[in-house]
Amino acid sequence: MAAAPPAPGETQGTLDPRRKTLAAAVAGILQEVGFLAFEKAALGTLTEMLQSLLHEIGRSTRAYSELAYRTEPVGADVVMALVDMGITLEGLQAFRSRPNRVVITAPSQQIRSHTRHTSLTTCRPFPDTHTYCFSHTYKQPVTEYEAIREKAAAQKRDIERALTKFATKTRDTQNLFLTDDKEYLLVSVEPNPKAYLDALMPRDQVFEEEEEHHTKKKRRIATEEGDPGQEKDKMNESQEGELDNPYLRPVKMPRKGKAKNLLDHHAWADEQDSTLQLVQMLYRHGDRSPITLYPTDPHGNVSAVWPMGLGQLTKKGKAMHYELGHWLRGRYNTLVGAEWVPEELVVRSSDTDRTLMSAACNLAAFYFPKHEEERFEKHLPWMPTPIHTVPANLDKLILIDSSCPRAKVEEKNLDDLPEVRKILDENQDLFKFLSEKTGETVDNITAVSYLFDTLQIEAAYNLTLPSWTKDIWERMERLHFLSFKLMAYTPELKSLRAGPLIKEFGDNMKKKVAGNSSSSSISNTKIYMYSAHDATLAILTEALGVYNGLPPPYATVFLLELHKVGDQHFVKMYYHNDTAMKEPPYPLVLPGCSERCPLDNWLSLTAKVVLDDWDKECHSGYPFGLSLNTFAAICAAVILGVLLLILLIYNLIMCHRRKSHFAYRPVPSSSP
């Protein structure tokens, strides 16, 4: 790592004082460890490394502060940032109390006399004071934007009033009442207003349709009639002797540049032959009801509060994905047609009601039949689109914990990590408090996260929360955020939980580039749509190194686009978490690559997360490669079968003994 060179024209003496202080601290540390002399370049390199570390700590501290909705960081945010970077407070305290510590003293204050370069006698005398006095006609120039807008609005109102009065005197009018008075006159509507009225009427904006219409009309007239110069001469000849009234001239439409569509525009592809080849999107379902309720929940009457049931999509959630479908159609309207084609779009969902229904609502807007001839039922503006899913115990892409027992074991092993163990120890009082208040066992971060999710949903629906939640809300929120970070905290969890999905993304792009797959429906696919959960999005982005630390909101979508520029293929990643669908997606940059990442680089950088034999790794450590639940079920079945066999043998033996007991006996003969 090389030290950053100073800016042009900048010397060591003009560097930032903070940088100089940091360099002095590094020099003191080097002196403590035994260095008597060091090169200037080495000192600059170490200073740059320390500065980068401090900058990263400050950035993480600010991020944790923003996650807790605070404007200024506190000590807890610094501790979280240090723990996140693997720095313990014990190590900092030990370093601070080292015996051979070098104390850096402040430099002595030196008063330097500055040379006067300009003599005061050479300055021109100030003008008279009356020069700066404002006269009665003086007025400050209007430069503020709001003042200019107010002035323009006032001018517009005055012009409209004057034109209205003028129109009532020159055009046909109608009366609002059946009387002869002229107090409430109405100007009759004409299909083609006078040209001078259209020219004088102020306009806030000119729509692109009007501009294109007038531009095409002007070009067509010029093409049909020949040289525009000849037409101009004819017009001048025909209008000789007439008054040149500017209000009777043809209307001139102001030109306006065509606005750029932020949804379809890619800045990196400007002035290049860029074509979108493939889109793979992963989105979270819409707004839902709580998954679980705690025993002491005051809103525990599920049928009254949540008539749709627990963990189900709400009416608001359906509307969210319908809007997301509109947004996706506007973004990829040129990629796929208006009607569903099997070779163009494939939809995959987890085996839950809320994700299946979210995908259905999304597709209802994405393939909205505008015309009646496109509908199979005249009064039903809907087009059926297939959605594929697999049972949860066989899902290897979206909900993989049921099919990968080792993932749960690795997540349980997180409790043994020093930084996680420290957080658990610090929140033992919170776990005990929540267990007492909720009536259920709350002894880990995941349990707190599920409880906070329930409380958060109830608060969003204006349900009164218990009073004990106010004092611990922020602590629960921090653990809730941390739970998403821990889902893919270690390399093993990244590979087990996100590896199959990242592998499928890469395989789909390679098939698209090759174009010679055995199945034509796969090679011709243009959109892969995955309906998933917040955990799926958090795990995927964390495995790719682009997670922002926030739980994904409802209807959040991750976009993976494959572009072709010339003969090369590039990958673009976007993250759209705006539920209102008003903002463009946020571009993501894969660590080690650029925003426009070449496909080969993207595949090589993500290869470390992909496992060669995912099934084997998921079941490693279990007898015969079976999961713990499966092995336990098989053992229970074997034991039950052995018991039944023993019971059957015992019954056979007892029956045999009974038969031998009731055998015939000889009758004793009577004595003579």
- Mean of pLDDT values over 511-531: 77
Distances (CA, A) of 617 to 399, 613, 624: 17, 6, 13
Q: H-helix or E-strand containing 161?
A: helix 145-170
CB 564 within 8 A of CB 573: no
**Cα R_g (the chain), whole angstroms:** 38
For residue 332, what pLDDT is reported?
94
* Comparison of pLDDT for 546 and 517, the residue scoring more: 546
- Whether the pLDDT of residue 268 is over 50: the answer is no
pLDDT at 237 over 60: no
Neighbours of 98 (CB within 10 A): 10
Q: For residue 347, what is the enclosing H or E element?
A: strand 345-349
Question: What residues act catalytically?
Answer: 285, 534
Q: Between 262 and 136, where is the model more confident? A: 136
438 neighbors 295 (Cβ within 8 angstroms): yes
Whether the pLDDT of residue 258 is over 90: the answer is: no
Between 126-135, 307-316, 330-339, 493-502, the lowest mean confidence (pLDDT) is in 126-135
Q: Which of the listed ranges 84-98, 136-150, 266-280 does the model predict with the highest average pLDDT?
A: 84-98
CA 33 to chain centre: 47
Confidence of residue 12 (pLDDT cuts 50, 70, 90): very low
Res. 174 pLDDT band, cuts 50 70 90: low
Predicted pLDDT of residue 404 = 87
- In the chain, the N- to C-terminal Cα span, in Å, equals 127
How would DSSP label each residue in 369-380? --SGGG-SSTT-
DSSP string for residues in 258-324: PPP-TTT--GGGTTS-EEEEEEEEEEE---B--S---TT-TT--HHHH-TT-TT-B-HHHHHHHHHH
Strands 527-532 and 345-349: parallel
For the entire predicted model, the pTM comes to 0.57
State the amino acid at position 428 in one-letter form: Q
Which of the residue ranges 109-113, 417-421, 425-429, 470-474 would you say has the lowest mean pLDDT? 109-113
Q: In whole angstroms, what separates CA 258 from the centre of its chain? A: 29
For range 492-502, the mean pLDDT: 94
- Give the per-residue SS3 of 597-625: EEHHHHHHHHCCCCCCCHHHHHCCCCHHH
The sign of the CA dihedral 602, 604, 605, 611 is positive
Percent of residues in the chain assigned helix, strand, coil, to nearest 5: 50, 10, 40
Cα 622 from Cα 631, distance rounded (Å): 8
What pLDDT is recorded for position 228?
47
What is the residue type of 64? Y
Q: Is the pLDDT of residue 30 over 50?
A: yes
CA proximity to 358, closest of 306, 313, 309, 307: 313
Determine the Cα–Cα distance for residues 168 and 189; give it in Å rounded to an integer: 12
Identify the residue with better confidence: 279 or 167: 279
Report residue 446's pLDDT band, with 50, 70 and 90 as the boundaries.
very high
The pLDDT of 414-437, averaged and rounded, is 95
Q: What is the DSSP letter of 554?
A: T
Per the document, the length of the chain is 672
| Each residue's pLDDT tens digit, 341-376 | 888 999 999 999 999 999 999 999 999 988 877 888
Q: Which of 245, 176, 192 is nearest to 168 (CA)?
A: 176
Q: What is the pLDDT of residue 343?
A: 86
- DSSP assignment of 80-126 equals HHHHHTT--HHHHHHHHT-TTPPPPPPPPP---PPPP-S-GGGSPPP
Q: What is the mean pLDDT of residues 401-407?
A: 83
Which of 332-353 are b and which e, b meaning 16 or more Cβ less than 10 Å from the residue's Cβ? beebbeeebeeeebbbbbbbbe
Q: What's residue 454's pLDDT?
A: 96
What does the alpha-carbon distance between residue 363 and residue 357 come to, in Å, rounded to a whole number? 10
CB 321 within 8 A of CB 362: yes
Q: Tell me the average pLDDT across 568-583.
A: 88
% residues pLDDT > 70 (the chain): 70
Of 668 and 494, the one with more pLDDT: 494
What's the average model confidence in pLDDT over 70-78? 81
| Residue 131's pLDDT band (cuts 50, 70, 90) | very low
> What mean pLDDT is predicted for residues 186-213?
52
Of 415, 303, 286, 290, residue with least CA distance to 358 = 286
On average, the pLDDT of the chain sits at 78
270 C-beta neighbours (distance < 10 Å), count = 8
Cα–Cα distance measured from residue 509 to residue 61, given in angstroms and rounded to the nearest whole number: 38
